[in-house]
Chains A and B, each alone.
Chain A
Amino acid sequence: MNVLQTMLILAAAFLAVFAEASFQLPRHLFGAQVDVLPALMIYAALNTNTVTVSLLAALGGLWFDALSANPLGVSILPLFAVGFPICLRRDLILRELPFAQVVLGATASAVVPALCILLLLTGGHGPLLGWGSIWQWLVMTAGGALATPIIFALFDWCQHALGYQPQTETSFRPDREIRRGRQ
């Protein structure tokens, strides 16, 4: 983990929120907009530290709410509630497996909007809900599940291309070399 990775994650969150507000293809095709922030949170929770997770929750939530009719700050806690426990228990998760990534992405994408709605209803706001919301929730879950392995692959590629690679040590040591023959 380095600062570059944190900056890349935050930049991706910024672009993701912009894309969700600007491009309407998923909404026209499936009737719901897919949210990529939970999938990004999964990547951040499994590969970075608590500071990055907190920054992503705070800034990602703020950016999302700023472009939405949500009360400002309502998306921060749901994102953090998904990222924080995963960050604490990430040693127990097989993060390299695409199946694990898909399951975590689906869970996060299902939990975040549900918690958002819960917070909105608790705060006395009346979001647009109905039977169609179940379909929208399923689309968001499936979209997040698909997006998670793609995000992992993308960030691994970025890390490989932009970050410093650890120098591999060989078992060969010149001071232990057995020199044959007489000199």
Chain B
Amino acid sequence: MGDRPLVDWEWVFAHLDDLWAATYQHLQLTIIAVVVGLAISAAVSLLIYRDRRFYGPLTGVAGFLYTIPSLALFALLVPLTGLSILTAEIALVSYTLLILIRNIMAGLDGVPLEMREAADGMGFTPWQRLARVDLPLALPVIVAGLRIATVTIIGLVTVAGLIGQGGLGALMIRGFSRSFPTQIYLGAFLTVALALAADAALLLLQRAMTPWLRRASS
């Protein structure tokens, strides 16, 4: 590839629409995975919150899913669900679970005992305490988990390109097959940029949702 430039800018400017579409698709796949993962993790965490005995078994399952290599998981799922978005999302969601459940539980467990006792002693019902005391106080830790999960998924979505689900992974795969480095570099660059942007956005979201922490440090 000696005489070729690393990035063919002419190609880039000619394909801005395609690049944008791939990035957008990548983001979409990520958001679906994180949102569904968060919903499942919230439900699982609630179960654990109500009965601590579920913690070991449920995080065990999530931990097992987390250890399966993504390529292997896609390969295992394709016979069942085909080369579909469903296959991609099942795999992606399963990688969020361990991170999110662990962080939700760590956040809830980190609520100081005296806060719970104050809430109980003043007559909060268990649900009121969860919604108005435990969750707001656990929010920073939960959002921290959400950031890790999101960045992880943005990386993994590139692999979903292998099963034809588009995104920046597909861009890179085309680059490999055509030995066209511009697509590879650009795909990698945009993936990293997307991850950094998503991480920053979630951090800002967390700051906006926890004004008491911001004011304390100012």
Q: Do A and B come from one complex?
A: no
Enumerate chain B interface residues (CB-CB to A < 8 A): none
